[in-house]
Amino acid sequence: MKVTLQNIVPNPMKDEAFSAESIWGKVCVLDSNHSYLISSDSGKGKSTLLSYIYGLRADYSGSISIDEENQKNTSIDGWSKLRTNKLSYLLQDLRLFNHLSVWDNLTLKNDLTSHKTASQIEEMLEEFGMLSKKSQLAGKLSLGQQQRVALIRCLLQPFEFLLLDEPFSKLDSELRQATRELVFEQIRQRGLTAILVTHDQSDADAAAGKVINLTHTASGKSC
């Protein structure tokens, strides 16, 4: 799978000037089997870029193509297939169903794909320290527990690109490190692609990815 950003500029930023290092207004190709780190100043479009790739927003000039197909020409059915089989997205607001149990939150989408067995789901819950909470309502969990459930849900579905928006921000330092290691190990073992938004340097170091620079000169290899 390949994602191509072709001269993308968010409409709210159309009158801004960008540095030579920024990918806004340029061509950037995101290939499989890599991790990417989105780098920019606050309020300069990190989360916005993820929402564009996932098709939640289209308020930009230029084009985004997935495997050579322009997103703006993708049908509703086409988006459904992409989000079921190729794109997995962890948003900052998590979007769990608070009135459902942890187990139901995890199996709701898995029932559409049958990608994982019940025993595989339980195994991942155990790895993330959440097996004892599987029958609890998601709305009754702490924010850190909710974030782990949302991460598990993302990893359970089939995907080629995993979009992560501040994926460890609600975890304490010890849990953050352990969860981060689990997530990136899963990605590397499966030979998949992650695009990471984070303000935490240790998250960025763990991702060890190429830098997608939105505003200023950043350390690392730009796309």
Give the tens place of pLDDT for each residue, 182-197: 888 888 888 888 998 8
Residue 46 lies in a domain: yes
By residue count, the chain amounts to: 223
Residue 6 is predicted with a pLDDT of 94
Tell whether 182 is covered by a domain: no
**pLDDT tens digits, 93-152:** 999 999 999 999 999 988 888 899 999 999 999 999 999 999 999 999 999 999 999 999
CA distances from 7 to 47, 65, 85, 187, 200 (A): 18, 11, 27, 29, 28
Mean pLDDT value across the chain = 88
Is 38 contained in some domain? Answer: yes
CATH of the domain at 49: 3.40.50.300
Domain residues for 217? 1-86+194-223
Per the structure, how many domains does the chain have?
Answer: 1
- For residue 215, the SS3 value is coil
Which of 91, 79, 98, 201 shows the shortest CA–CA distance to 151? Answer: 91
pTM of the model: 0.88
Does residue 142 fall inside a structural domain? no
118 belongs to a structural domain: no
Q: Please indicate, yes or no, if residue 61 is contained in any of the structural domains.
A: yes
Task: Judge whether 207 and 196 are in contact, CB under 8 Å.
Answer: yes
In the predicted structure, residue 179 carries a pLDDT above the cut 50: yes
The conformation of residue 140, written as its DSSP 8-state character, comes to: G
Q: Are 212 and 3 in contact (CB under 8 A)?
A: no
Sequence-ordered list of residues with C-beta below 8 angstroms from that of 77, at least 6 positions apart, any chain? none
With respect to residue 173, please indicate whether it lies within any of the assigned structural domains: no
Residue 79, in any domain of the structure: yes
Selection from 211, 195, 132, 198 nearest residue 170 by Cα: 198
